[in-house]
Structure 1
Amino acid sequence: MSKEFAKNLFNKQVMATDGTEIGVLSNIVVEIRGGNIIDMMVTPNPNFDTTRYRKEDNFILIPFDSVSAIKDYIIIDKMKAKA
């Protein structure tokens, strides 16, 4: 995956490979020592079923390794993202 500035990721729409609109990226969780992105904190769309996802407050946590592409949208593989 090519490099992307974190500031360009915030408020991007997060979608699944099947076209499901999951929500909007609100924040990221970063490993302090290595600087690796661990999770994305996503504000879910009201109609999206969040029952199989890890949650923190009003966000769902999606592992960053489930990201398959970053362009106009952040595309994730839902099977890798579920808890």
Structure 2
Amino acid sequence: MPNELAENLSGKEVMTSNGTYIGELHNIQMDVKTGTIGDLYVSPFENVRPEQHRFETTTDEGQQKFAIPVSRVKSVDDCVVVQQ
């Protein structure tokens, strides 16, 4: 099941609950023992400045990413909607 979830989420656009598209889902942090998802790593779009948003940032594969806790995910459909 976690593999299916990861496949369905990979590459989806991420939007805040106020309707702003912030980037594309790049990676998922997951506890391999429990299958629990921790953070979503989102590659910001070029026109998005990370300091404009209240998300923590991290470096993943040499690039700055938003690190968004899965608890902030409000819905997943055509895109991932996260609480701003």
Coordinate RMSD, CA, aligned: 1.4
Percent identical residues: 33
User: Moved runs in structure 1, 4+ residues, more than 3 A?
Assistant: none
Question: More displaced, 13-22 or 47-56?
Answer: 47-56
Number of residues of Structure 1 aligned to a counterpart in Structure 2? 75
Report what 1:46 is aligned to: 46
Higher helix share: 2
Q: TM-score, normalised by structure 1?
A: 0.80
Q: TM-score, normalised by structure 2?
A: 0.79
Give, in angstroms, the shift of residue 54 of structure 1.
2.1
Give, in angstroms, the shift of residue 48 of structure 1.
1.5
Rounded Cα–Cα distance in structure 1 between residues aligned with 2:72 and 2:49: 18
Report what 2:31 is aligned to: 31
Report what 2:76 is aligned to: 70
Rounded Cα–Cα distance in structure 2 between residues aligned with 1:54 and 1:63: 11
Tell whether 2:6 aligns with 1:16: no
